[in-house]
Amino acid sequence: MSLQLTGQMLAVENAKARALLERAIALDPNFAAALATLSLTHSWDVGFAWTNTPGKSVSAALEIAHRAVAADPREASAHAALGAAYLVAGDARNGLDAARRAVDLNPSMCSSISNVSKNSAMSSIDTNRPRSQLTAITHHRYFRRSRHSPQRVRK
C-alpha cells in the first residue's frame, strides 16, 4: 500500500505512505526495504518542496537511509535511497557512490540508474556548458546498461 501511495507523487499521499512505513518498521526495525522507502519519502519532501523544514527532512532521509544499508547491505533499494538522500543534501559525490552500489546490486533498478545520472551530473556541473551535462546524463555507462536507455528505445 505504501508503494502505491508514494507512486502518486503527491504530498498528502507521501505523508500517508510515511505513516504506513513507520508502522511496518515498528513491527520490524530491520526491514531494509521499508526503511529505504521511508527515507525516500523524506527526500521527496525536499525535492518536491513539500516541507517547510528541508534541513530536518534531509537529516531524516540520510539517517534512515544509513539505517537501511546497515540493516541489509545487499538491499539495492537501501543504497538507492542513500543516493537520493545525498542528492537532496547536496553531496553528489557520495550520492554517486551510493547510486552506483545500488546499480551494481540490481542493474535493472531504474531509480538507481536515474540517481547515478543525476549525481554524476551534479558532481561535475559546469554552468558554462549545460549541453555537456545532458550528454553526461544520457550517455553515462550505468544509464546505457538499462534496456530502457534512449539508444534502445529509439530502435
CATH of residue 11: 1.25.40.10
Q: What is the pTM of this model?
A: 0.73
What is the span of the domain harbouring residue 124? 2-153
Say how many domains are in the chain: 1
- Tell me: the pLDDT tens digits for 99-141? 889 888 988 876 656 656 565 555 554 444 444 444 444 444 4
SS3 per residue for the chain: CHHHHHCCCCHHHHHHHHHHHHHHHHHCCCCHHHHHHHHHHHHHHHHCCCCCCHHHHHHHHHHHHHHHHHHCCCCHHHHHHHHHHHHHHCCHHHHHHHHHHHHHHCCCCHHHHHHHHHHHHHHCCCCCCHHHHHHHHHCCHHHHHCCCCHHHHCC
Share of the chain above pLDDT 90, in %: 42
